[in-house]
Each structure stands twice: as structure tokens, then as C-alpha cells.
């Protein structure tokens, strides 16, 4: 019998519900983005996010079931993002998932949002272990070593800002709307790395990152130029910033992959949509790690979505990692310690 998981994601600014078959096939993946409501504030307003989730969640559940042509009686389990994320936003998805699971007598599977981002790669290829995941999103920048399904070891992470956060802050200085990662990526392709911003900790032996120095150096540079009445070239600023981020990400990731005995490299999270990063990593892997298979999820699965939660939930269900009706949101949920 096929396993059908109804998955719910509401950790930030997308309400998403999916139906996933056997952890590997998307039958539906409804995503209601609220980004337009947050743009005028230049970032996510948690209270606004929660209110939107309340309005959208039941509509998304109905749509996801209808699009998948699945009846409630056919479902195997309900999965939901437990954290990390905004507490109020997470709670809406969790309340909906608990009610649905209770009403229909289905098992409830709690899922780590970051594990979800990694498992988005499962829709491209079966995962082969051990693997390395480079997780780059608005809130996280981590190198995660996975010895097997459902096992996560963070071997390096940002000591300050996440890569996506740096993109969004720099974007604000460039007068771009939130979130600005995609637009900076597009501008970068029209410019050159002429300003040469710092590449923090690039040659240090550990696998940690730091992006706040780059962000400050960028902002100071732009403000100083403004004060002197100098005109800077926006495309070159974007290209220089992006070159610095990509250099550090690629350098550290390749070194991590040379240090651990991995078979695959998965790149995940919103910043994995970056075209410059995709090109640079593809080149670096083919020349430095010819035996490693590089997997990028398709663009629509890089950002937040519930299908990735369904893929990660499949593994949790096999391990019988289930939740009871007292499941609570955990805004700072971390990967579990290794058994």
C-alpha cells in the first residue's frame, strides 16, 4: 500500500501544505506566500505572519488534498514543522496538524524545518550516505554531515549572520525590496567583482562562517561613498558582494567534502536558488571532487514548502519518531544529538 503523508509548513512567511507519496513523489504542494504583506516593512513581521497563516491554513489543506486527488481515508500520517521558526507562525501549523490528526485518528510526525530543506533533494535523486549538506537560508548557514538517513551532525555554521540574512540587509542598502537575494543575484550577473570585499575566515581550518563583517564592510563602503558624493555602480556592488559570499561558501564546502568520506553533496535552503552559487559549486565539484554527486533541489523546492517536510517526515515515520497531542512549537529547534 502506498504511504501518503499530509505535510504542513508554517515556520515563516509561507503557508504550505503538501501530499507526498513514499517520501519521494509530490502529489500536491500548495504554497501561499505572504511576502507582499511584509515587503512594505522591509522584513517579516511575526504578528502579521501568524494572522495570514490562520487565514490560509484550512484552505491550503483542502486544496492540497483536492489537487493530489487523495481522500482523508487514504492518508497514512500528518507531518508538521515543529521548528526552528517564528513561534506564533509555527503554532498555527501545529494546531492545524494536531486537530487534523486527532479528528482522523492519524499518527502525527514532528519535522525539523532544516531537515526538510535537506530532504528537498530527495525529489531529485535518492539520497546516498554518507552525504554533506550545505544549508543556506535566511536564518541558517550550516554544513551538515549525514552518516545515514535522519542523522545530522553540524560540522560548521555561521558565527553571526546567515548568508540569506546578509543578502537581505545588503539589499536594503541598495534600495531593493525584501527579500533581495534573487535580485542581487540578477544584478551580480550584470557586474564585475571590482570592489573586493573581505572573505572572512576563508583560510581558517574550521568550517565555520561569518558574514557580518562582509555586511558591515559593504554598508560602510556605500555610506562613505554617499557622503563623498561618489556614485557607485550597483551591478558591480552586487557582483562584488556575491563573489565574496560564494568564494567563502564554495571554499569551505569543498574542504569539508574532502575531509569527510561523502558520496553526495546536497545544497539546500533559499540561497541554494542562487545562480552564481550553483555555477561556482558545479565547477568546483567537477574539478575537485569528481566522485561526488552534487544535488540542487529545483528552484521551487529551495524556498520554504511543505513537500520537503513530507520527504523528511517519511524517514521519521520509518523510525517511528512520532508526537503526541501535547506537541509544542520549538522556535530554536536544533538537530537531535547522534544516538
Q: Which residues are annotated as a binding site for substrate?
A: 135-139, 168, 181, 185, 274
Catalog residues that contact Zn ion under the rule CB under 5 A. Answer: 137, 304
| Residue written as grid cell 581558517 | 204
| Residue 273 contacts which entry, ligand KG4, Zn ion, none (Cβ below 5-8 A, type-dependent) | ligand KG4
Give a three-class secondary structure readout of 166-202: HHHHHHHHCCCCCCCHHHHHHHHCCCCCCCCCCCCCC
Return the number of the residue (9 or 208) whose C-beta is nearest Zn ion. 9
Catalog residues that contact ligand KG4 under the rule CB under 6 A. Answer: 12, 137-139, 164, 167-168, 179-182, 185, 269-271, 273-274, 303-304
By CB atoms closer than 10 A (0-12, 13-18, 19+), residue 138 is buried
> What residues have CB less than 8 Å from 123, skipping those under 6 apart?
24, 25, 26, 297, 298, 301, 307, 308, 311
Please state the closest distance from residue 290 (CB atom) to Zn ion, in A: 31
| Residue 267 contacts which entry, ligand KG4, Zn ion, none (Cβ below 5-8 A, type-dependent) | none
Return the number of the residue (70 or 238) whose C-beta is nearest ligand KG4. 238
d(CA 307, CA 29): 6
| Residue 191 contacts which entry, Zn ion, ligand KG4, none (Cβ below 5-8 A, type-dependent) | none
The answer to whether 311 and 119 are in contact (CB under 8 A) is yes
Return the number of the residue (208 or 304) whose C-beta is nearest Zn ion. 304
| Residue 68 contacts which entry, ligand KG4, Zn ion, none (Cβ below 5-8 A, type-dependent) | none
| Residue 182 contacts which entry, Zn ion, ligand KG4, none (Cβ below 5-8 A, type-dependent) | ligand KG4
Please state the closest distance from residue 74 (CB atom) to ligand KG4, in A: 30
Please state the closest distance from residue 138 (CB atom) to Zn ion, in A: 7
| Residue 210 contacts which entry, Zn ion, ligand KG4, none (Cβ below 5-8 A, type-dependent) | none
Return the number of the residue (142 or 316) whose C-beta is nearest ligand KG4. 142
Please state the closest distance from residue 171 (CB atom) to ligand KG4, in A: 7
Binding residues for Fe cation: 113, 117, 304
Collapsing DSSP states into helix, strand and coil, what is residue 251? helix
Binding residues: 113, 117, 135-139, 168, 181, 185, 274, 304
Please state the closest distance from residue 332 (CB atom) to ligand KG4, in A: 14
Please state the closest distance from residue 337 (CB atom) to ligand KG4, in A: 22
The answer to whether 317 and 21 are in contact (CB under 8 A) is no
Return the number of the residue (4 or 84) whose C-beta is nearest ligand KG4. 84
> What residues have CB less than 8 Å from 175, skipping those under 6 apart?
none
Joined grid coordinates for residue 105: 485518528
d(CA 97, CA 91): 10
Return the number of the residue (77 or 308) whose C-beta is nearest Zn ion. 308
d(CA 133, CA 153): 10
Return the number of the residue (120 or 250) whose C-beta is nearest Zn ion. 120
Q: What angle do CA 131, 133, 136 make, to 5 degrees?
A: 175
Joined grid coordinates for residue 203: 583560510
| Cα atoms in the Cβ-side hemisphere of radius 13 Å centred on 251 | 17
Please state the closest distance from residue 141 (CB atom) to Zn ion, in A: 12
Amino acid at each position: 500500500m502506498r504511504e501518503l503523508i499530509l505535510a504542513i509548513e508554517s515556520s515563516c512567511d509561507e503557508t504550505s501544505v503538501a501530499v507526498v507519496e513514499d517520501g519521494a513523489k509530490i502529489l500536491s504542494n500548495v504554497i501561499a506566500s505572504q511576502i507582499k504583506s511584509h515587503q512594505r516593512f522591509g522584513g517579516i513581521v511575526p504578528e502579521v505572519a501568524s494572522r495570514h497563516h490562520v487565514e490560509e491554513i484550512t484552505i491550503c489543506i483542502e486544496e492540497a488534498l483536492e489537487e493530489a486527488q487523495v481522500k482523508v481515508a487514504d492518508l497514512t500520517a500528518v507531518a508538521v514543522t515543529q521548528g526552528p521558526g517564528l513561534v506564533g507562525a509555527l503554532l498555527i501549523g501545529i494546531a492545524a496538524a494536531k486537530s487534523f490528526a486527532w479528528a482522523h485518528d492519524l499518527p502525527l510526525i514532528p519535522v525539523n524545518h532544516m531537515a526538510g530543506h535537506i530532504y528537498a533533494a530527495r525529489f531529485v535523486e535518492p539520497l546516498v550516505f554518507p552525504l554533506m549538506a550545505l544549508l543556506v537560508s535566511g536564518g541558517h548557514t550550516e554544513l551538515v554531515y549525514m552518516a545515514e538517513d535522519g542523522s545530522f551532525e553540524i560540522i560548521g555554521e555561521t558565527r553571526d549572520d546567515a548568508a540569506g540574512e546578509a543578502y537581505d540587509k545588503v539589499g536594503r542598502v541598495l534600495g531593493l525590496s525584501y527579500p533581495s537575494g534573487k535580485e542581487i543575484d540578477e544584478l551580480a550577473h550584470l557586474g564585475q567583482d571590482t570592489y573586493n570585499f573581505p572573505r572572512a575566515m576563508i583560510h581558517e581550518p574550521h568550517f565555520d562562517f561569518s558574514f557580518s563583517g562582509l555586511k558591515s564592510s559593504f554598508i560602510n563602503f556605500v555610506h562613505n561613498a554617499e557622503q563623498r558624493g561618489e556614485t557607485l555602480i550597483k551591478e558591480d556592488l552586487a557582483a562584488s558582494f556575491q563573489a565574496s559570499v560564494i568564494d567563502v561558501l564554495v571554499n569551505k564546502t569543498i574542504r569539508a567534502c574532502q575531509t569527510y568520506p561523502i558520496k553526495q553533496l546536497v545544497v539546500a535552503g533559499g540561497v541554494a536558488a542562487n545562480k552564481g552559487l550553483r555555477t561556482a559549486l558545479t565547477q568546483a565539484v567537477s574539478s575537485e571532487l569528481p566522485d561526488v554527486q552534487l544535488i540542487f533541489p529545483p528552484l521551487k523546492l529551495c524556498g520554504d514548502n511543505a513537500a520537503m517536510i513530507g520527504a523528511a517526515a517519511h524517514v521519521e515515520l520509518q523510525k517511528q519518531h512520532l508526537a503526541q497531542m501535547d506537541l509544542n512549537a520549538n522556535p530554536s529547534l536544533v538537530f537531535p544529538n547522534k544516538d
